[in-house]
Each structure stands twice: as C-alpha cells, then as structure tokens.
Amino acid sequence: MSRLEVNGLVKGYGRREVLRGVDLDVPAGSLTAVLGLSGCGKTTLLRVIAGFERAEAGSVSLGGRTLDDGSTYVPPERRGIGYVPQEGALFPHLSVQDNVSFGLPRAERRGEAVHALLELVGIAPLARRLPHQLSGGEQQRVALARALARSPSALLLDEPFSSLDAGLRASLREEVHLLLRSQGVTTVLVTHDQEEALSMADVVAVLRDGVVVQQGEPAALYQRPSDELLARFLGAVNVLPASFSAGSAMTALGPLQLHDSEVPERGSGSVIVRPEQLEVRARASEEADPGEGVAGRVQQCRYYGHDALLEILPEDGIGIDPLLARVLGESALPAGTAVTVAARGPVSVLG
Amino acid sequence: MSTAAAHPRPAQRIAHARSGWRRWPLASGTGAAIATGLVLLPLVFLVVQAQRSGWGEVERLLLRHTVAVLLWNTVRLAAACTLLCAVLGVGAAWLVERTALPLRGLWRVLLVLPLGIPDFVVGFGWVSLDHGLHGYWAAVMVMTLSLYPLVYLPVATALASGDASLEEAARSLGTGRWRTFWRVTMRQVRPAVLGGCLLVTLALLAEYGAFEITQYRTFTVEIFTEFRLGFDAVGACVLSLVLVAIGLVVLAGELTLTGVRGQRSGPGVARPIARIGLGRMTAPVLIALATLAGVALGVPVYALCYWMIRGGSTTLPSASIVGALGHTAEFSAAAAAAATALSIPLAALSVRRRGRVTLLLERFAFVPMALPGLVVALGLVSFTVRYAISLYQSTLELVVAYAILFLPLALVAVRAAMGQAPASLEEVGRSLGCGPLTAWRRVTLPLIAPGLRAAFALVFISSATELTATLLLRPTGVDTLATQFWTYSTNFAYGAAAPYAALMVAISAVPAYLLSRRMTAGARRGSLR
C-alpha cells in the first residue's frame, strides 16, 4: 500500500492551461474521488499520474518514490500504476483471458492466479469471449481485472461507470467498492457524478478550473463546502441570509446552530441549509402557529419515489427565495398544500 | 474516394496523446518525411530535366501545334468518358441497390468485375476481334467499359448504406418521388459520384496501353513515342508536366466541388431502405444490365478464351511464361512491401496527430494519384541518368516507381486500419508494463494487420498489372507478364499474348470479386481517399 502525492502539478496543451497547480494527497489504501465537471482537467490529471503525459511543473510521487518532477520521469510501464480508461479500452483482438493476463510474464498467463482473479471479478465464465461479445458492465469488469492482475501499487479509474445505464451503474459501483476495499489498493476515481463520489470515496477532491478547490471526507464536503458553487454542485441547497451571535445564526427560519468550528466575527452573512434539514408539516388552519415555524405553500412537488423535493414559497413576504425541502416519498405533499417549515441545525457559514 | 466513411475521425481523447511520447513523433515523422520526399522526387526531376535546355526551349515545346491537338483530344475524351461512366455507374448502382431487382447478388459481382481486367487488356480484347476499331469512339467505348465500376462501386456503397428516414422526411414534407430522388438521394451520394468521376478522369489521363491499341493520340501516347522512339527527353518531360498540371487541376477541382461533407446529424440509427418494385420494367432492366455486363466483361473474356484456344502461332521467339510470372511476382511483392512500410508512419501521423504539417504531408502523399505511371517513370529516369546511372533500369528503380505510384492505395488501407487502433489502447498496454516497442507490437500491430495485408494485396495487384512504367524501367532483358503480353500483342501474336493477359486477369479478378462482395467503400487506384 502506497500513498500517492501530487504537488503543484501544471499541465497544458499548447496555450490552454488545463491543470494549474493541482495538489492531491491520496492516503495509502484509500479510495479518493476526483470530482469535477467535464473539461475541468480530471482526465489530464489521471494521464499525468499514469505517465502518459509529462508534468510541466510540480511533482508526482507514489509511496515516497518520485515518478515525475521535471528532472525524473518514470515511463508508464515502470510505475506500477493500474489504469482503467473510460469505456474500458479492452484489446479488441484478445479474449477476456488474454486481456486480463496481458501484463503478466508469459509463464503466468495461464496460471491459477489469473483464474482466481477472473472468479473474483465475476467474469470466469466469459474467459474465452472476445470484447465485442461482452456487455458494457462486463467490459468494465474485464478492464478492472486487467488492471488488478499485476497487483499495482495504485489504481486509476477514469469515469468507469459513466457509460452504463442507471441500474447497472449502481450495482456495479457497489461491487467494485467492496472489491477495491478488500484488495486495499490505493485508488483514484475520476467522476463528474457527485453521488458516485460521495457514496464510494473515503476522500473527495473537487477539481475546478485546473485546481483542487477542496479536499475532504464526503460528509465534511457536503456539510461544509468552501463556497456556494461547490455547495450547489454537491446537491440542492438553500442559501439564507443570517446574522451571527455566539455560535448561532439568526435566519428567516429562526435561530440555527452553527458547526462548532465556525464562529464568524462578522455580524452578518449567509448560511447554507440542505433540503433534508427542513421539516415540513401540513397546516390544518390558514393561520400558522408561530411556534411551529414559517408559514408557506407548496409550489411544486418533484416526486422521486424514495423521496420528494418540495419547492415551498414562504408567505407574508419574509424576503427569501422559495425553499427546497426533501421529505420521504410517503410524506410528499401536492402543490398548493399549506405548510409550516422549520429548520434543524447545525448549518455552515458560506465564506 | 470522397465518401466520409473512409476516414473515421479519431476521438477527442486520442488527440490527447500528443506530448507524452517523445521519440515516437520523431520516428514516424522521419518515416513520413522520407515517404513524402520519395513521392515528390520524380516531379522535381521532371522540372529539372525540362529546364536544362532553357526556358526558351520549354516555351517553344509548349506552344507546339501538337500540344493543342493533344489537349483537345484529352479533354474531349475525358469529358465523354467521365459523363458516360457517371451515367452508367449511377444508373446501375441505383437499379441494383434501390430497386427490387432479381438476382441482386449476381449483379453486384458482375458489374464490379471489369475492374479486374487491365484497361489495355480490354482494348486488346476488342481490337483483336475487330481490327477496324480505332480512333475517338473506340477509345471512348473501351475506356468507359473499363472504368465505369470506379463510379458504380462507391455510389452503390453509398446507396446501400443510405438512410431511408431522410427520404421519408422529404416525402412527408410534400416532395414528390422524382424531386426527392434529385434533392435528397442524389445529394447524399454526390461525394461518391464526384469521387468516382475523379478516379475515372485520373485513370484516363494515366492510361497508355489502351490508347496505343486503339490508335488514339493522347499525352501519354505522345510522351511515350517522343521518349522511346524520338529520344527526345526534354520534349517528353515538358509534355509530362502539362499532363501533371491537368491532373492536379482535376484533383483540386474535385476537392472544391465536394466541399464540406455533410454527415448524418443527430442520434438514432439509420434505417434500411425499402426497395422500389420494378413491375413491368423488370425484363427491360435485366436486359440492359445483362448487355452492360456482356460488353464490359463478356467481350474481353471471350477474346482471351478465343485466342487461347486458337493457340499461339507466332514468329517471335517463344518466351517463358513461368519466368515472366516469377519476375512479376518478385517486383510486385517488393513494391507492395515497400509501399506498405512507407504508409505506416504516414497513417500513424495522420490518424493520431492531426495538425497542419501532418495534413500537408498527407496531401503530398496523395499526389501520385495525379501522376501517370509514365510520368513517374520519366522522372525517375531523369534522376538516375543524371545522378545514379548504376540504378538506371535496375530492379530497385522499378520497385521504387511502383511504390511511389501505389503509395496512396496502401495509405488508404493502412489509415482505415489505424483508425481501429487508437493510441489509448497502446497506453493501456504501457500501463500494463510494456515498453513502447512491445506495446506497439502486441497491441497496435495485430490491430492494423488486416489493413497491412489489404495494402500489400492492393499494391501487389496494381504493380502486377502495371504496363507503362514497367516498359520504361524494367531491367534490360527482363520481362514481366505485362511487358511480354505487350510485345506479343503489338506484333499481332494474339494467341501467344492471351495466356499472359489471362494470368494478369486471374491475379486481379480475385480481389475485384472480394471487393464487390464486401462492398467496402472504394476501388483500386487510390480510390478511397
């Protein structure tokens, strides 16, 4: 198990700078997700780590061994880094078995180890098939097995699930998660899907315009994003104006507790409240009981089955935008319902 | 040819591979530069040779009455043949691919097979049966019957892969059946028609044997005569340059005409075409197609069989057909290997590293399409006579001439294959522990192997049936199938000539047949561009 470190990485194509000083620390044995919109440089970052491209400045090291720092450059074949490209990129002329054993010495290609790996990844019955005879999910499994066959010190996955349909994506994601956990290989997963990043990774690094804007555990990132853009990228959000005093924030929804580390000096600002932090109750009477929260009316209900997202317009002009509230699917309320909305802390302050 | 299908655009991600490999661009760049230099060599030495006797002399040679006559002959021949080929090719392709024609599989093969018969053999077939055939109309007929498949094949491919939904949309917008045919169907196949016509025109400019046989004076015939019989190298070079200029104008004209190539827009699968029933027209259509196949394929084959059976009564010393076959195979194999090897770096550059320099190198590599064999041969003769006399009329010189002439053919085949072997696969190979060379050998080479085989076969066949350059460049006393055939047939020893022609037809008919079966976009002579 080796720790992967990227420091101040710069890389561009021609005049276009793609990476502008990327710092990334992937703890040994962890699964780190690099999350970003398409075109933010995610794939370039992976390609430099894999050694397909050379860094223009900065360094890459794995387990304390420098791979690329301007003077040293270790070619891809001597890095011991497995790479699973988008769409798998299986060798079309080789069978599943030959794809998986491609990187092994000739003597080991027909050995027990390969078979065990095929079993582990669940593709043993397909060993003699050719790539074009496989489904998208099967191709990804083969690509993963191929990269794992050489017991790499680190593994890079480039949007491995993006070409699969929703149901298959979820189940394969789960399976790969368990597999990687059991292998304990240091992994970098690149994705534009925040759900994928949050649900799979130990650490999430958000890449934007060629720099890592925030890196941390999924929950920390979700609850305490460094700016509004990131907050919105990670999920639906309410931004409320607030004034601060003694560890709490006064908002239109009443006083809300702040995350303990954040006690701003300033008197006012904004806080972010996630939709699931709002409690929504249907009102019996037209008049709201001030103790139950803010009065409002459901403007729109987006029903997803397991849950529902309600868009609620506060009444009596308290000067805030419609609120987003997530409720369980069984508690979904139709548009037009009169409700009261209350919020639960802790919330975090927007910088 | 101009069908867009011939060059799969590399995906965006592949273009990413630019800066990673330091030594590879250098290696393939050098290879590509050598190939391009070789291609331009004959052209450069034609110019050098022509201006040796001064520009005044060049001017005098250019302004001769002969040049005007040749120009007129060439233009009226090219116009008539190209038009006829377009009509026959498009008409036959539409009938075969878009109507409910009986025996479609048979017609697909029969209509393409004339490609497998060298043009000078077609000419020989007609003239040996009827000595009265000569002059303009004989030349037009022989060339049209030999060349129409160059239009038929790409157009049939385009029509077969066409998309019914476009035509349905036009009909639903109130356009009638005929207007739909002109405004939608023909628009879709226009690049294929233009590409086919370009090949026909270039082939006409390059042809020598068929015109010699039908006694029709074109540039090639005149150049050959001046050089071979008049020993007038400067005059031949000046005429050659005029011929090359015409070829380049045609090539450039086609590029402008084709313009931006429309592609299927939007997602969705192309739907197959519903074929039009022929009804009472079935019998007349069948008779028409049978007539076309009969005159294009039947007459030359009948002539060959006739003369083979009649046997060879000849006053010339009998030559060894085995020896000629051996030489043909030896020269053609060497040329095929050379052209294929040279096309690998060019194809790799053009597919994996698109850019201005690459595009320029690639364009140059296609210049031989506008260079008749005669012109390449003259250019090489000018070079060797002046700078490397020991190479004059050597095997090497002949092989180099073939390799230059047919490099575009090899390039097209290899480039198409290279599109199936993206750089990303090689990268995966490297991440699995292979060095650059090993990754290339284990990943890319197996993937492009079919393309390399196709390139080798195409160049081999084209070289084996090449006549003009071979006549000028063959080592003294060495005969190939084509030259021996030529010696016999020009001396009216038809019986003796026929077996040589039959062997050449046998060599090139097999791939023509395969081509018609697979309906891959393209034909011989650098068709798929």
Q: How many CB atoms lie within 10 A of CB B390?
A: 7
Amino acid at B64: R
- Whether A292 has a pLDDT exceeding 90, the answer reads no
Answer whether the bond into residue A346 is a cis peptide, omega within 30°: yes
Chain B nearest-CA distance from A184, in A, is 19
Q: Do B431 and A54 touch (CB under 8 A)?
A: no
pLDDT of residue B392: 82
Q: How many CB atoms lie within 10 A of CB B505?
A: 20
Q: Which two tokens stand for residue A169?
A: 């994506």
d(CA B61, CA A157): 69
Q: Do B16 and A53 touch (CB under 8 A)?
A: yes
- CATH no. for B31-49+317-490: 1.10.3720.10
What strands, in cross-sheet order, belong to the sheet with A323-328?
Answer: A278-282, A338-343, A294-303, A307-314, A323-328
d(CA B303, CA B325): 21
Confirm if A348 and A272 have CB atoms less than 8 A apart.
yes
Tell me which residue has tokens 């097999």.
B510
> DSSP assignment, residue B237?
H
pLDDT of residue B370: 78
Contacts of B446 in chain A (CB under 8 A): 93
pLDDT of residue A146: 93
Which of B431, B434, B437, B445 to mutate to test binding with chain A, by most A CBs within 10 Å of its CB?
B431
pLDDT of residue A222: 92
* Tens digit of each residue's pLDDT (9 = 90 or more) over A7-65: 999 998 877 889 999 999 999 999 999 999 888 889 899 999 999 989 999 999 999 99
Task: Compute CA B275 distance to the chain's CA centroid, rounded to the nearest angstrom.
Answer: 31
Q: Do B430 and A51 touch (CB under 8 A)?
A: yes
Superfamily designation of domain B64-263+281-288+512-522: MetI-like (1.10.3720.10)
- Size of chain B, expressed as the number of residues it contains: 529
> DSSP assignment, residue B99?
B
Q: Do B19 and A54 touch (CB under 8 A)?
A: yes
Tens digit of each residue's pLDDT, chain B (529 residues): 333 333 333 333 333 333 334 455 677 778 888 888 888 888 888 888 877 777 777 788 778 888 888 889 999 999 999 999 999 999 999 898 888 888 888 888 888 888 888 888 888 888 888 888 888 898 999 999 999 998 998 888 888 776 677 777 777 777 777 787 777 788 888 888 888 898 899 889 888 888 888 888 888 888 888 888 776 777 888 888 888 888 888 888 877 776 544 444 444 445 566 677 778 888 899 999 999 999 998 988 988 888 888 775 555 566 688 888 888 889 999 999 999 999 898 888 888 877 777 777 777 777 887 788 888 888 888 888 888 888 888 889 899 999 999 988 888 888 888 888 888 899 999 999 998 889 999 999 998 888 888 888 888 888 888 888 898 888 888 888 889 888 888 888 888 888 888 888 888 877 777 766 654 433 333 333 2
- Whether A338 has a pLDDT exceeding 60, the answer reads yes
* Tens digit of each residue's pLDDT (9 = 90 or more) over B403-457: 999 988 888 888 888 888 888 899 999 999 998 889 999 999 998 888 888 888 8
d(CA A120, CA A280): 46
pLDDT of residue B522: 34
- Name the residue among B19, B435, B447 with its Cβ closest to that of A77: B435
pLDDT of residue B3: 38
d(CA B448, CA B454): 10
* Tens digit of each residue's pLDDT (9 = 90 or more) over A129-163: 999 889 888 999 999 999 999 889 999 999 888 87
Tell me which residue has tokens 């030495």.
B45
Q: What is the pTM of this model?
A: 0.79
- Name the residue among B19, B425, B433 with its Cβ closest to that of A103: B433
Nearest to B328 by CA among B210, B502, B484, B456: B484
Amino acid at A206: V
Chain A nearest-CA distance from B496, in A, is 48
pLDDT of residue A25: 93
Give whole-number Cα distances, A149 to A2, A143, B80, B191, B428, in Å.
17, 10, 65, 48, 13
pLDDT of residue A264: 67
Tell me which residue has tokens 């059976």.
B309
Contacts of A157 in chain B (CB under 8 A): none
Task: Compute CA A191 distance to the chain's CA centroid, rounded to the nearest angstrom.
Answer: 6
Q: Which residues of A72-85 are buried (b: 16+ CB within 10 A; e: fewer)?
A: eebebbebbbbbbb
Domain ranges of chain B: 31-49+317-490, 64-263+281-288+512-522
Nearest to B139 by CA among B187, B77, B58, B201: B77
Mean pLDDT of A184-209: 92
Chain A's closest residue to B15, CA to CA, is A13
Q: Is A93 on the interface with B (CB under 8 A)?
A: yes
pLDDT of residue B527: 33
Confirm if B410 and B455 have CB atoms less than 8 A apart.
yes
Q: Do B428 and A91 touch (CB under 8 A)?
A: yes
Q: Do B430 and A76 touch (CB under 8 A)?
A: yes
Chain A nearest-CA distance from B5, in A, is 21
d(CA B396, CA B111): 37
H/E element, B374: helix B373-387
Q: What is the dihedral of CA B369, B372, B378, B382, to 10 degrees?
A: -20
Size of interface A-B (CB pairs under 8 A): 74
Chain B nearest-CA distance from A234, in A, is 27
- Size of chain A, expressed as the number of residues it contains: 351
Chain B's closest residue to A48, CA to CA, is B20
Confirm if B129 and B69 have CB atoms less than 8 A apart.
no
Q: How many CB atoms lie within 10 A of CB A64?
A: 8
Instruction: Supply the ipTM of this predicted assembly.
Output: 0.81
Amino acid at B505: V
* B68 SS3 class: helix
Q: Do A77 and B431 touch (CB under 8 A)?
A: yes
- Name the residue among A52, A79, A86 with its Cβ closest to that of B17: A52
Q: Is A42 on the interface with B (CB under 8 A)?
A: no
Task: Give start and end residues of each alpha helix (H) in chain A.
Answer: 42-50, 96-100, 112-121, 136-148, 166-183, 194-200, 218-223, 228-234
Q: Do domains B31-49+317-490 and B64-263+281-288+512-522 have the same CATH topology?
A: yes
d(CA B90, CA B204): 19
Q: Which two tokens stand for residue A104?
A: 């092994």
Helices (H) and strands (E) in chain A, counts: 8, 20
Q: Do B431 and A50 touch (CB under 8 A)?
A: yes
Chain A nearest-CA distance from B436, in A, is 9
Confirm if B187 and B163 have CB atoms less than 8 A apart.
no
d(CA B455, CA B365): 15
Q: What is the dihedral of CA B453, B456, B457, B460, to 10 degrees?
A: -170
pLDDT of residue B4: 38
Chain B nearest-CA distance from A146, in A, is 8
Chain A nearest-CA distance from B23, in A, is 12
pLDDT of residue A143: 93
Q: Is A132 on the interface with B (CB under 8 A)?
A: no
